[in-house]
Amino acid sequence: MEDPTVTTTAQEAPAGNWNRDQLRQAALVKISKFEALANKGLIMIAGFLAISIAALRDFDFLPSVPLSVLAFLGPPPSANMISAALVFYCFSAIILILAKMMSGSNKYGGLAHLGYLSGFYLFYHFAAAMERNFWAVFAAGMTILALEEYHLWIYCAEEIRKERETLAELGGGNGKAPNFKR
Amino acid sequence: MLRSLSAKAIVPVAVAVTGFVVVCCILLYSVMKTDMTNDATVQATNLANTIVKSTRYAMLKSDRETLSNIIDNIGGQHGVETVRIFNKKGLIMVSKDHAEVGQFVDKKTAGCIGCHAGAVPKASFRAMEQARTFTNARGSAVLAITAPVYNEPECFNADCHFHPPEQKVLGTLDIGLDQAPLISALGVMRNRMTIFSLMILVLTVGGVAALLRRNVFMPIKSLSNFTEKVVHGTIGQDFPRCGGEIEGIASNVRTIAEELNKAKTELDKR
């Protein structure tokens, strides 16, 4: 999931003469956007913790699903099948995040992971196997979201550093657009 | 600290390996615990059925003394917490605990409610439905099995008996087994898995960290020291001998510095 509000510095290299203040202002706006983006992962982790607390109580505060809906959905998969899917998902997600780290991509998949992890909680809930498997989903979620957050944080820290360098260049510049390519 | 090169290299690996190993261990433990509990339930159910078969003749002959003796002997076995037989109405006929003989069991308790929830009690159920677990007064976890004593042709055709053929269940055997050995085995398995996981984590993360330190961080540190000396005008022969790309970079930096020095010297001469 790419954040459309934040673009890289190279993409926004202005072509003509720019007012130095405008450039400085643009750099400051980008810094604040990257700072906000870096906190996005923490919001996802907080959301996951909230869902986990609900799952720990086996969603006892939610109304029961009507029998007709349960009959329509059919029997849930066995706990072993859900566990096998969880291992496969966890492995794939970690590999994909490490691959994103290697490529220096700015894509963030926290929201999608939140959805998948909630799905696992629901499957275990309907399979009546939440008590035995709660900590496995929790550990998988914390690992995946922590890696995503670390990746995003490192990416944003790097971009903020670049913008600060740009600001430093603008401090002694001639008012022309600085070279954003690094 | 987290922005350093070593942190960037080691933190993702450590988090990924630790997280994945923890998830796999929890799931593996969960699956093994379920399997072992199911096996224990099947074994306990077989034991209950064996007791029903063993006491069948005594019940057929209405030999209370022999029946009581068999139940006392079984109840004296290590790990048998409770064993009793009650009739269709719930009246305890014979028990390891002689004090409860003649009392009625509560049909609403766990283990009874499964069959007695509806207006007509269930007459047959699967092995897993026969089992229940509870903690007794001594604080021990107990796996209890209820095995029905079915009405058979020998029962309702016997001269001395009064059970009509329509009556499917004559009574129930209830046996409770101490789960301490199972819990202990699960605890040992959990500890072994924890130690095994820690060893894997130390080996993996430690191995990656050691190799990165030897092959990347130490040469980069040497290169950094070397370039710092070059910047300050000291061009010694001690550039990093670490091989590969880093030694190439050090060599290039040294060449550039020497060329600059030469140019500077020539300029000074003029």
Contacts of A98 in chain B (CB under 8 A): 12, 16
Tell me the residue type at B237: Q
Say yes or no: B19 contacts chain A, CB-CB below 8 A.
yes
How does pLDDT run across B138-180, given as a tens digit for each residue? 888 888 888 888 877 666 666 665 666 677 778 888 898 999 9
How does pLDDT run across B60-115, given as a tens digit for each residue? 777 888 888 998 999 898 888 888 888 878 888 888 888 888 888 777 666 566 66
Q: What is the pLDDT of residue B109?
A: 67
Partner-chain residue, chosen from B2, B16, B27, that has the shortest CB–CB distance to A87: B27
Q: Check A94 against B34: CB less than 8 A apart.
A: no
Tell me the residue type at B136: N
Q: What is the pLDDT of residue A121?
A: 94
Q: Check A133 against B26: CB less than 8 A apart.
A: yes
* Burial readout B188-225 (b: 16 or more C-beta within 10 A, e: otherwise): eeeeebeeebeeeeeebbeeebeebeeebbebbebbee
Q: For chain A, give every domain's residue range.
A: 19-171
Q: What is the pLDDT of residue B5?
A: 75
How does pLDDT run across B11-67, given as a tens digit for each residue? 888 889 989 999 999 999 999 998 999 999 999 999 998 998 888 888 877 788 888
Identify which has the larger pLDDT, B189 or B61: B189
Please identify every stretch of chain A with a pLDDT value under 70, giving residue numbers as ranges: 1-18, 172-182
Q: How far apart, in Å, are the Cα atoms of A42 and each of A36, A147, B10, B11?
A: 10, 11, 21, 17
Q: Please count the residue pairs, one from chain A and one from chain B, whose beta carbons lie less than 8 angstroms apart.
A: 64
Partner-chain residue, chosen from A83, A94, A142, that has the shortest CB–CB distance to B31: A83
- Band of pLDDT at residue B258, cut at 50, 70 and 90: confident
Partner-chain residue, chosen from B2, B18, B24, that has the shortest CB–CB distance to A87: B24
ipTM of model over 0.85: no
Question: Phi, psi (5° rounding) for residue B178?
Answer: -65, 130
Q: Check B18 against A143: CB less than 8 A apart.
A: yes
Partner-chain residue, chosen from B3, B18, B20, that has the shortest CB–CB distance to A90: B20
In sequence order, what are the beta bridge partners of A96? none
- Closest-CA distance, B82 to chain A, in angstroms, reads 28
Pick from A53, A63, A73: nearest CA to A127: A73
Tell me the residue type at B227: T
Cβ under 8 Å to A: B residues 29-88: 30-31, 33-34
Q: What is the pLDDT of residue B190?
A: 92
- Band of pLDDT at residue B128, cut at 50, 70 and 90: low
* Burial readout B72-89 (b: 16 or more C-beta within 10 A, e: otherwise): eebbeeeebbbbbbbebe
B163: helix, strand or coil = coil
Q: How far apart, in Å, are the Cα atoms of B269 and each of A57, B233, B258?
A: 84, 18, 16
Pick from A7, A10, A19, A9: nearest CA to A177: A19
Q: Check A90 against B12: CB less than 8 A apart.
A: no
At residue B252, does pLDDT exceed 80? Answer: yes
Segment B126-144 shows an average pLDDT of: 78
- Closest-CA distance, B160 to chain A, in angstroms, reads 48
Contacts of B33 in chain A (CB under 8 A): 132
Say yes or no: B16 contacts chain A, CB-CB below 8 A.
yes
The Cβ of residue B156 has, within 10 Å, a number of other Cβ atoms equal to 15
Say yes or no: A86 contacts chain B, CB-CB below 8 A.
yes
Residue of A90, A137, A153 for testing the chain B interface, max B β-carbons within 10 Å: A90
Domains of chain B: 56-178 (3.30.450.20), 186-269 (no CATH)
